[in-house]
Amino acid sequence: MTHLDGRVAIVTGAGRGIGRGEALALAAQGAKVVVNDLGSAWDGQGADQRPAAALAQEIVEAGGEAVANFDDVTDPDGAENMVSQALDAFGRLDILVNNAGILRDGMVFSIDPKDWSEVINMHLMGHFLPTRAASRHWRAESKAGRTSHRAVINTTSESGLFGNAGQSNYDAAKMGIVAFTVAVARETAKYGTTVNAIAPRARTRLTTTTFENSARAGEFQTAEQPFDAMDPDNIAPFVAFLATDMAADITAQTFIVCGGAVAHVKLPQVSDIVFKQGKWTVDELAQRRDELFKNLGADVYEGPRGYARLPRQ
């Protein structure tokens, strides 16, 4: 049984890795897909139309409907063109998966400011501009009386959620995407739009370079048997689920997706409070500082010192 018959989706960065799996899964559920990919290297350099074109052709040859798009998601005209192409080719738009991203790692004291800002721009503008273009269309449709469930699925990262040395630019952008997700969910709910974020853990061009020159070098490169938890295609079913009407009441949420695990991430919330009548002194705060950490448990999803570890099943 398919759940997205007649729907139209845009997937950014869909030429390879996680985005490729997402586009294929949406097509398998009956969606018509705009396969967007500029075709740059993992660090954002260059361009290559072949990955997007090949995947669109693969979907068509399998009996689905797809078109390739080579626009830059950080360009306002490119983002608008993606939406226009979906409307011209298929007559509507229902789903936007913001997946495109790059890495340029470096320690905060040595990274080139250009590399820092371009990663921020790629991820935040690369989510904002396509979402802006899609939501403008959905707002106009709703005002014209044409309503339906619309879905935006954003891509954050465990590195952003928990922090990773050498990736302050990437982490700042990815945590920003979580806040962006919540804000846009509030702004677009009246138009039938759900906005959620996933933090995928998978073997891609980005993750296989993450721990180069460290004790964890090559950690993600070997496929596990008999089930490869790091296969990027494992991410796609949950993304497809969020796009269906079965998830039409789920919005403003973040999830970690890895292998056979899906974890709901608690969004920022107040944990422990210290209180007194009147103004604090520094010494009083020092004496009661441990009261601020009473509820810091040993939960595997929490981790002030590095990545959270998902349990093995």
What pLDDT score was predicted for residue 167? Answer: 93
What pLDDT score was predicted for residue 211? Answer: 53
- Please give the helix or strand (H or E) that residue 208 lies within, else none: helix 207-210
Q: Is 49 exposed, middle or buried (0-12, 13-18, 19+ CB in 10 A)?
A: middle
The CA distances from residue 5 to 97, 116, 120, 183, in Å, are: 17, 41, 35, 29
The rounded Cα 55 to chain-centroid distance in angstroms is 20
Q: What is the pLDDT of residues 16-47, one digit of tens each?
A: 999 999 999 999 999 999 999 997 765 667 77
**What stretches of 130-192 adopt beta strand conformation (E)?**
150-155
Q: What is the pLDDT of residues 189-231, one digit of tens each?
A: 999 999 999 999 988 665 555 555 555 555 556 677 787 888 9
pLDDT band at 297 (very low <50, low <70, confident <90, very high): low
pLDDT over threshold 80, residue 155: yes
265 three-state secondary structure: strand
Q: What is the pLDDT of residues 73-120, one digit of tens each?
A: 999 999 999 999 999 999 999 999 999 999 999 999 999 999 999 999
pLDDT band at 235 (very low <50, low <70, confident <90, very high): very high
Residues serving a catalytic function are 157, 170, 174
What pLDDT score was predicted for residue 192? Answer: 97
- Name the least confident of 127-131, 149-153, 301-305: 301-305
